[in-house]
Structures are given as structure tokens and as C-alpha cells.
Amino acid sequence: MEKEQYQQLEQNVTPKPPYLKNVAKAFFVGGLICAIGQAVSLFYIIFFNFTEATAGNPTVATMVFFAMLLTGLGLYKRIGQFAGAGSAVPVTGFGNAVISAAIEHRSEGLVLGVGGNLFKLAGSVVLFGVVSAFFVALIKYILVTIGVVSW
Amino acid sequence: MVMTFVFAFIVGGIICVIGQLLMDVGNLTPAHTLSTLVILGAILDGMGLYEPLIDFAGAGATVPITSFGNSLTHGAMAEAEKHGLVGVLTGMFEVTSSGISAAIVFGFIGALIFKPKGNID
Amino acid sequence: MTLPLLVVLMLLNGCAEKEKFIVYGPSQNGSEVEALIKEEDYVERSTVIYYDDSMLVAVQIKPWEKWKKAKLEKKLQKKFEEKYPNKDVFVSADYKIFYEANKIKKDQIEDNKLNDKITELKDLAKEET
Amino acid sequence: MVIIFQSKPSLLAGGVVAGPLENRSIFSQYFDAVYDDERWQMKTNEQGHRKMIEEACDAAMKKIGVQSGDIDYFMGGDLVNQMTPTNFAARDLEIPFIGLFSACATSVSSAIVACLLTELGAANFSLAGASSQHNAIERQFRYPINYGAQKPKTAQWTVTAAGYALIGKHREEYPSIEAATIGKSVDYGMDDPFHMGAAMAPAAFQTIQSHLQQRNQKIYHYDLILTGDLGQLGLKLLKGMLVENGVKNEELTLLRDAGAEFYGQDEAFQSGASGAGCSAAVFFSYVIQQMRAGSYKRVLLVATGALLSPLSYQQGETIPCTAHAIEITMK
């Protein structure tokens, strides 16, 4: 059998991802995580001195804390299998990526294992976050300097 | 206040749906998907659109990873406004989300107390 | 986790329904301030605290208008500054400020403490991170 | 080229040890031991992996009543970088050892080498097999265990199991290895590490075809052709290829796949089981016992392996695969 012919066969046999179902699950779980985040943020606004503008930081930290518990107990991967991007895209997914790598590489020690592999999965997010922020700010700075837009 | 929850749910859900489509239709790995969304957040902030989204949806916009790109860009732009070109570089982590620091700290703690387990359910 | 919270919030909302626009302070121009805010149809609820020569205007913007929050805040600030040029006006659309303003009213905080409290809220609202 | 073993070395015993999740395998009743602790009370997954190999070898040796001092050669491998679990097990077993890497096809490739040594007269007894430990393999090839990535329907679950066979000179009452085919490395341009079945099916197809042709056999000459870990989709693809080649539908029922059947119909495991321990565990427990019980007279075992590394697929390489086959008969 020729390669092309086989690739045709493979296309026919391999099931397509259930797009609609996956999207619905991602929407529901992702939305739920954000609604929980909203509740956490309301908690910080009411009981601590945080405003809507500043509550984001403690909220995110708290969500990452939840992610640590769920990751350590082995529950986050199950949520992930069900929800896909619904649990990967919220900051809890970022936390899961960092924390799961940390737990996994504990066996190689705290310095070489945890330290060296902490950002194994999430490093790309930090990289592209920083680099894109740099370029976006740079472009905006240039545009402001030549007077096209204002800050 | 109730509507804030509804909007947080819907906007957060929609951002996750974009991620799911990138994965399923675009055939991207999770790392590629998240990187794309972070860049998207940075660009939206550059156009001045992300802050209104946060005002509208609250945690629906601050909890998804897009807000990470937003806060980095926000810091860089705020410093650039004050200190010019140098600020672009120095301002980056000025306002940055606590996501990174929390992830590092909790990652460390998690590594100390948990062990990986290969269970399925 | 969210569900009970939502229920509580709905109850809270229901109770507050009667008093959407609250003015707290000496009564002479209370209705004037209220009318001023009611002109702005994007404001859902408001609590104004005023004393001596300061005025704290805490508003909640309607959900569908909220994405313009920053702009509307500025607009309202300008309006009040023009209307009360000799008063120190501070307008905020932040929920925290609104919540605290309501607490001031509910607890009937006295004038001498009021000043500190409002300065504190102003500082809080100006924080960025 | 097919290898014919004139002396017909025998599979004297098999030792299979598996992890806790493998309790759910439909083959678990044939295993020698299923442990509750996936790390075998060791500190790391890799140490547990090594321990599992040793236990499997012990189980095989015990059945024939020999000790590690009686074994002439130890052939085996696993999927961990540089195969340290097997290398370290060899250190503890103190048997002359060659590590073999054919990914998940190692169970059969090591058996072939053991048969060659037996045929040559160099070995009275040799141990051959392979193993995999889920946690140790997943973290290396994919993600940390606790990372919440969504696995597609095409994904397979790396089993925690070690399977070792004790191969010796021909004895009537044991299943014997008559012939073997060493597979080529076949690449049909598949590049999805979450769809190994599709990458491996062509390799299995080529090896089966070449073995049957050179042995002048048809599928129906066998009671069973059992592939290693193609998974449900990979098996479907293999059957599809065979049908294209003129194999009749009724013959296809003789084709089964260890990986596809391993965890039964449990959808949590997606397309089925995989890993070097998958084929080793099933071949050296279920198959040997069924043959000794007389259920099968002639069996073709085809272990399949995907020869990729995390590095190779991140660099955008396609996945070359191999399949090795041994033909086993029972009087």
C-alpha cells in the first residue's frame, strides 16, 4: 500500500474530535472557573481592602492555590480530560502546568529537579507574554511618539 | 452584582472556547494554544480593549491566561508613558499578575507535599 | 460554591431594590444630588456621602454599560465638579467604594471619623495594583 | 528474511508482574502478580520500574526452578532514557546482559536474540522480555502525570507491567519458537505522538506480510495473530490494509491486538493500552498459558514499536515504526 493511500485510510478511520461537545464542555467549565474567580474576587473586595481594580491579583493567586490542591490530589488531570481548554486556559491551568512539573521532578531534587523543570510546560507562556508585551508596548510607544495615537 | 457573575461566566467561557477551537480545529498543543492566547491578550491591551473587558466581565477577563499578556503589556505601557523608551523594558513586571509568583510558590510547596500518581479516576 | 453565594447576592439585591439612590449627609441639597445622578441613565445605583466641603459619589454602572466604566466615571466626576465647584468631589464606580459608602451610611459613622474613612477610600481607589 | 530456528527453542515459562491499574486488564488473571503500589514501595518511579523487572524475572525463573546463576543471558529493554531500569535490574540479577531497544517491540526482539543464542548452543537458559512503567514513561514522552491535558480518542495508555520469558532448549511439552521475522523501520509519514496506532500499523502490516510470504503461509494457517499495542484504531487500520491486499473478511477475526483488548472496553483508556510492557505482559502470560492449555497450536506474535523520542517529534520528524514477529507452535 502506498503512503498516500494509507494516509487516506488513516483519515477515514481516525475519529474527528467531537467539536461541539468539546466546545460546550470548555465553555461550561471555563465559565464556571471564572465565576468561581468572580466569587473569590468579591470575597476580597468585601472582606479586605481591595477594589475591583486591585482584586485581580489576590484572586489569581487564590485560584492558583486551588489549582495546587487539585493538581496534587490528581483531580486536575481529570478535569482537564473532561474540559480541555476549559481548564487549561484559566490561570488555574497555568498553575497546573507549573505545579505538575514541580511535583513530577521532585525526585531529581529541589534544585535540579523542581528548580530546573518548573517552567518546562509553562515557560512558553511566560516567554510569549513578555516578548509580545515588549513589542506591543514598543509599537504603541512609536505610534505615540509620531503622534498617531495617544496613551 | 448578579449580572457580573453571568458576564464573568460567559466571557470566561468564550475565551476558553477560543482555546478549545485552537486545539481541536487548529490542532495546536496546549502550550501553543496558551502562548497564542497570551499574545492575543497583549495585543488587545495594546489596542486599549482589554481593560474595558475587565470592567465588563471582572474575573471572566482576569482569570483566563489572556490577562497575563494584558497585565505585562499594561505595565510596559504605563512605564513607557512615564519614562519613555526604557520603560517598555522595565515596566513589564511592574503591574504583572500574581499568577507567576503564586505558581512558583505553590509549585514549590506542591512539590514538597505531593507525589505523582498514575491513577485514572 | 458559587450557587449559595449567588442566592445570597440575589437576596441582598432584592432588599436594596427600594433604595437605589441614596444620599447621606445634611439634608439640604440631597434631592438635588439625587436628581443630578438620575439624569445619567447608565447609573444603576448610587450612594453619595457628603459632609462639610467634600462629596463622595459612589455609583454602580448598569451591567451592559460597564465596559465604559472608566470613561463614565470621568464624565460624572466632571459633571459634579462643574456643579459643585467649591466642593471636593470624588466619583468612583468601583464596587468596593460603593460597598464601603453603604456601610458608612448603615453604621451612621460620625463626622470626625468620616473624614479619615473617606480619605482612606480615595487612596484605595487610586491604587493600581 | 525470515529466520527459521531448526532447534525450536522453547518458551519454558513467562513471568508477568503489573501495577495497580492493570488489575482492570482483562488479562490480569494470567499475570503472576498485580501490585497495589505503582512504585513497588520504592522512592521513585524508575526504581519501582527496576523492581518490577526483577520480580517478573524471578517469577519466570521460579516456575522452572532455576536461579539467576543458571541463566546464561538476559535480554531486555524499556522506554526510559538509556533504559536505566533494565540496566539496573541486570546489575542486580548478575546475568550477562545486552540491552535492546525496539521501543514497544522489545518483547519480541529480545526473544529473537535469545532464540538465536539458544540455537547457537551458547545458552541453556536466557531471559528475554520488556517492561514499561506508566509514570516513568509518560513524564518522559508526554507530560507530567498530574498535567491536565485533554487526550484525544486516538491516545493510548502506557501500561505498568513487566513481562519476561524464560527461553531454553526445545522441550516437547512447551510452546516452541519455529521462526521469526525482524521488521524494517517503516515510516508512512505519521507524526502525531497521540496517534501511535496509525504510525505502527504499516510496520505490523509489512512484517506480517513478509513473514507469511516467506513461510508460504496464509493467515488461516494460524490460530491467532496477535499484535502488540496497535490499539483499537491501529488494529482497524491494520485490518484495513490487509483487506486492501486481498485478505478475506473471515480471516480477519484471527487478528487480535493486545493493546486494544488490554483494558477491555473502558473508554477512559481511549484507544487502548501501549508501552513495551503491554505486548510483553500479554505474550508471556496469556499466550503461553493458552498454548500450554492447548487452545492454540500456531500463533504469530507481532510486537510493534514506535521509534520516536520527545526530541524527534518536537523537531518535526515523522514517526518511524518497527514490528518484529515470532511464530510459536505447540505440539
**At C53, is the pLDDT very low, low, confident or very high (cuts 50, 70, 90)?**
confident
Q: What is the pLDDT along chain A (151 residues), one digit of tens a residue?
A: 788 999 999 999 999 999 999 999 999 999 999 999 999 999 999 999 999 988 999 999 999 999 999 999 999 999 999 999 999 999 999 999 999 999 999 999 999 999 999 999 999 999 999 999 999 999 999 999 998 888 7
Measure Cα distances from A86 to A56, A62, A81, D194 in Å.
Answer: 19, 18, 10, 20
Q: Do B120 and D21 touch (CB under 8 A)?
A: yes
Q: What domain count does chain B have?
A: 1
Asked if C129 reaches chain A (Cβ–Cβ under 8 Å), the answer is yes
Residues in Cβ contact with C85 at an 8 Å cutoff, skipping those fewer than 6 apart: none
Radius of gyration of chain B (CA): 17
Q: What domain count does chain D have?
A: 2
CATH code at D230? 3.40.47.40
CATH code at C77? 3.30.300
pLDDT at C18: 52
Neighbours of chain C (3+ CB pairs under 8 A): A, B
Based on the fold, state whether residues D228 and D299 are members of the same structural domain: yes
Write out the three cell numbers for D246.
486481498
Contacts with A104 from chain D: Cβ below 8 Å = 139, 144-146
Cα separation, D146 vs B116, in Å, equals 6
Write down which residue in D119, D149, D168 finishes a domain: D168
Q: Looking at the partner chain, which of A32, A35, A51 has a beta carbon nearest the beta carbon of C127?
A: A51
Q: Are D215 and D182 in contact (CB under 8 A)?
A: no
Q: Is residue C24 part of a domain?
A: yes
Average pLDDT over residues D160-172: 97
Based on the fold, state whether residues D155 and D6 are members of the same structural domain: yes
Q: Is residue C116 part of a domain?
A: yes
What residues of chain A, 90 to 129, have a C-beta less than 8 Å from chain B?
A: 90-95, 97-106, 110, 113-114, 118, 121-122, 124-129
Based on the fold, state whether residues D225 and D269 are members of the same structural domain: yes
Asked if C111 reaches chain A (Cβ–Cβ under 8 Å), the answer is no
Q: Are D121 and A54 in contact (CB under 8 A)?
A: no
Cα separation, D9 vs D4, in Å, equals 11
pLDDT at D178: 97
Write down which residue in D106, D137, D168 finishes a domain: D168
The percent of chain B in helix, strand and coil, each rounded to the nearest 5, is: 75, 0, 25
Residue range(s) defining the domain that contains residue B62: 2-113
Nearest to A60 by CA among B92, B2, B104, B50: B104
| Helix boundaries (H) for D95-230 | 106-120, 134-141, 196-214
Based on the fold, state whether residues D139 and D190 are members of the same structural domain: no
Give per-residue pLDDT as tens, B55-100. 999 999 999 999 999 999 998 998 898 888 888 888 887 666 688 8
Q: Answer yes or no: is pLDDT of D124 > 50.
A: yes
Three-state SS sequence of A16-61: CCCHHHHHHHHHHHHHHHHHHHHHHHHHHHHHCCCCCCCCHHHHHH
Q: Is residue C88 part of a domain?
A: yes
**Higher-confidence residue: D158 or C103?**
D158
Q: Do A30 and B64 touch (CB under 8 A)?
A: yes
Q: Do D150 and B117 touch (CB under 8 A)?
A: no
Q: Nearest 5 degrees, angle CA D198-CA D203-CA D204?
A: 90
Write out the three cell numbers for D118.
539458544
Q: Are D163 and D238 in contact (CB under 8 A)?
A: no
Based on the fold, state whether residues D66 and D105 are members of the same structural domain: yes
The mean-pLDDT minimum among B29-33, B36-40, B114-118, D238-242 falls in B114-118
**At C14, is the pLDDT very low, low, confident or very high (cuts 50, 70, 90)?**
very low
**At B29, is the pLDDT very low, low, confident or very high (cuts 50, 70, 90)?**
very high
Q: Nearest-CA residue of chain A relative to B14?
A: A27
Q: What is the DSSP string of D14-51?
A: EEEEE-GGGGGSTTGGGSSEE-S-TTTT-SSHHHHHHH
Measure Cα distances from C31 to A117, C22, C47, C94, C102 in Å.
Answer: 63, 10, 12, 23, 18
Neighbours of chain A (3+ CB pairs under 8 A): B, C, D
Asked if C12 reaches chain A (Cβ–Cβ under 8 Å), the answer is no
The length of chain D is 331
Q: Is residue C13 part of a domain?
A: no
Residue range(s) defining the domain that contains residue D106: 2-168
Q: How far is C112 from chain B (nearest CA, A)?
A: 32
> Residue D322 is inside which H or E element, if any?
strand D321-329
Nearest to C62 by CA among C45, C84, C85, C87: C45
Give per-residue pLDDT as tens, D141-157. 999 999 999 999 999 99
Q: How far is B26 from chain C (nearest CA, A)?
A: 30
Nearest to D258 by CA among D9, D60, D25: D25
AA identity, residue D11: L
pLDDT at C28: 63
Write down which residue in D133, D168, D203 finishes a domain: D168
Cα separation, B4 vs B10, in Å, equals 10
Measure Cα distances from D125 to C35, D57, D101, D173, D199 in Å.
Answer: 99, 12, 21, 16, 35
Q: Do D148 and A96 touch (CB under 8 A)?
A: yes
Q: What domain count does chain C have?
A: 1
> Exposure of D60 by Cβ count < 10 A (0-12 exposed, 13-18 middle, 19+ buried)?
buried
Whether the predicted interface score ipTM is above 0.85: yes
Q: Is residue C113 part of a domain?
A: yes
Q: What is the mean pLDDT of chain B?
A: 91
Residue range(s) defining the domain that contains residue C91: 19-126
Cα separation, D231 vs D213, in Å, equals 25
